[in-house]
A and B are shown apart, each in its own frame.
Chain A
Amino acid sequence: MSKKNATSGYNRGRLLRTAMTVGMLAILFALPYFNHNEYQLDVLVSAGIFAILVLGLNVMTGYCGLLNLGYAAFFASGAYTYAILNVKYGLSFWVSLPACIISAGALGLVFGSCVLRLKGDYLALVTLGFGEITRIALNNMDGLTGGPNGLTLSHPVIRFANKSFDFGIKSLPYYYLSLLALLVTIIIMRRLSNSRFGRAWIAIKEDEVAAACMGINTGKLKLFAFCIGSAIAGFAGWLFAGKQGFVSPESFDFTTSIMLVAMLVLGGIGSISGAIVGALALTIIPELLRPLQEYRMFLFGAIMIIMMLFRPQGLLGGVRIFEEFRPVSERVRQEEDEVLAEDLKQ
């Protein structure tokens, strides 16, 4: 009897969640019909691309605990792969997608295999250096990347039978494209985080030695996390370049990398919904503050500080994250109290 109840409760919860997901999707897909504001749609497209990026960063930093302060470099590699293929070789948006993902993933693999023996802050610093080197290199290799002037690309076009649809400069098509891309990324992330890999990554983050003792090949799995994270950045870069129709090194500077980390931490590190909420919040808040003109970023900085002071585990930190954020002494004290209470009972 009780078992049956438990099952139906589980089903009800599942049903509710499915209903909520479907409802949310319906709202997201219908949104452009109710809101024709070009600028607001454009902000949402950017937020979607950033959400994909933060999800990718979440694999490295959130699951595996590898802080990356140069994530924009992998973002850039996807964007520039498409840009160069488009400008120099005339390849279309769609055809270059695999190349973008593979090039960014390969970059992550090669870079990761060099640097992953470093840990903690040292790893963060190497990624910071790598990010800056990439940006300056993009700036200086005029022949290939157009230097600081960047590259201007053609718009994505869909050809079906003998009709063709040009994406043009309106935000609407990109809105649906990025929504679709975000959905694909979320599905991949969900599958990954519940898989053997996801669990192994979290184990590595919690305690690398213990994870290795449990038979996890920590080196290989860390490299895999790095590779997946950068491949997703490449995917986002492809989307970004297609949407902007223009790439320049400015979009991939240190501030971008830092903002991505901030989105991840503010949303709640290690959680998929947290990553998305963080990306949305940190893309939309600066836009909302636009009427304040030059005081905008000033206030934005203040909001970041206040959010962290009041919720250091992020907006949507899960139970696991909450435990992690509780100071050790407090945890120990609580355990001691429990032991003491039991002793007193006896």
Chain B
Amino acid sequence: MSPFETFIQQLINGLSIGMIYALIALGYTMVYGIIQLINFAHGEIFILGAFFALFVFSFLGSFVPLNNIVTIIIMFAAAMAGCGLLGVIIERVAYRPLRKAPRLACLITAIGVSFILQNLMMIVWGPIDKSFPVFFKHVVFTVGALRITFMQGFIIITSLLLMISLHFFVRRTMLGKALRATSEDMVAARLMGINVDKVISICFLIGSALAGAGGVMYGMYYTTITFHDGYLVGIKAFTAAVIGGIGNVPGAMLGGVALGMLEGLAAGYISSAWKNVFAFLILVLLLLCWPSGILRKFRNE
């Protein structure tokens, strides 16, 4: 393998995890864009998606033998539906009553929700690593010396599809328009007859569903999951959202991919022990030098 090919290989490895970051980052950025809340429970929702899928998998496996593709689709559907619903419930119970309270109060309830979810997962699924089913283990595409596993290809393509559909939803539908209006100015949106509470619920629904999908992919990619995986991946996804300019939907996609690739390169060329420092170093440096993110128009704070 030539040095250049190694470089590309690292990029591809980084791209697949970056896509997962991007999916989670979308939820952070959408929620922040509308209610200016750092939703600390989002990382937990993400890993809960993986657990939902695992549950459905073992449940189905005990009844009917299904082929791989159908199983994957059912797992995704279950995770996305479960997480989306959960996101809406959390917003309804923990954030909506505090809509008019200062933002720090919401931050604390978000932390409370995160504690609850994390411990719920520990109680239900136990504190040890759970192994996640692997599909198409031996399918590997090779281009020259480059190797792309089925899972990597699957993650990249599925995430792209999800992101493109989200983009169309936000840009082309009435609800998307309402979403953008609400994030621009909540009071004015309400005056224009937009049901702001409904828009916020939808925003949590979509963000959490995407995180759930990300969770399933994470489980398939790393093959083991534990209840506290959500925390670090959640923070990194948040970093990705900041890189792209928080509140900005295409920015979150770009930020996730950029972070994943940079992390892949750092792990490959520098050292994997310092890999996580790298993500946070980017966060700090970026905020200091370029606080508006890659894609955000300059906005005077």
Contacts and interface: CB of A to CB of B under 8 A. Distances in A.
B287 A122 contact: yes
Interface SS of A by simple majority: helix
B interface bracket (residues with beta carbon within 8 Å of A): 35 or more
B123 interface: yes
Given A130-B284, A258-B111, A308 B98 contact: yes
B224 interface: no
Q: 6 shortest A-B CB distances, which residue pairs?
A: A301-B115, A304-B112, A301-B116, A312-B101, A327-B100, A305-B112
B235 A132 contact: yes
A124 B118 CA distance: 23
Interface string B27-40: 00000000010101
19 contacts: A114-B288, A118-B291, A125-B283, A126-B283, A130-B280, A132-B277, A137-B277, A261-B104, A261-B108, A265-B107, A298-B120, A298-B123, A302-B112, A305-B93, A309-B97, A312-B105, A327-B101, A329-B100, A330-B100
Interface of B: 36, 38, 40, 93-94, 97-98, 100-102, 104-105, 107-109, 111-116, 118-120, 122-123, 231, 235, 238-239, 242, 246, 273-274, 276-277, 280-281, 283-284, 287-288, 291, 301
Nearest to A124: B38
B114 to A, nearest CB: 7
Contact of B284 (A120, A126, A140, A312): A126
A305 B115 CA distance: 10
A34 interface: no
A294 B127 CA distance: 10
A295 B123 contact: yes
Contacts of A303: 112
B288 A312 contact: no
A265 B112 CA distance: 13
A304 B115 contact: yes
B140 to A, nearest CB: 33
A20 interface: no
A312 B105 CA distance: 6
Which of the listed residues B38, B94, B287, B301 has the most CB atoms from chain A within 10 Å of its own CB? Answer: B287
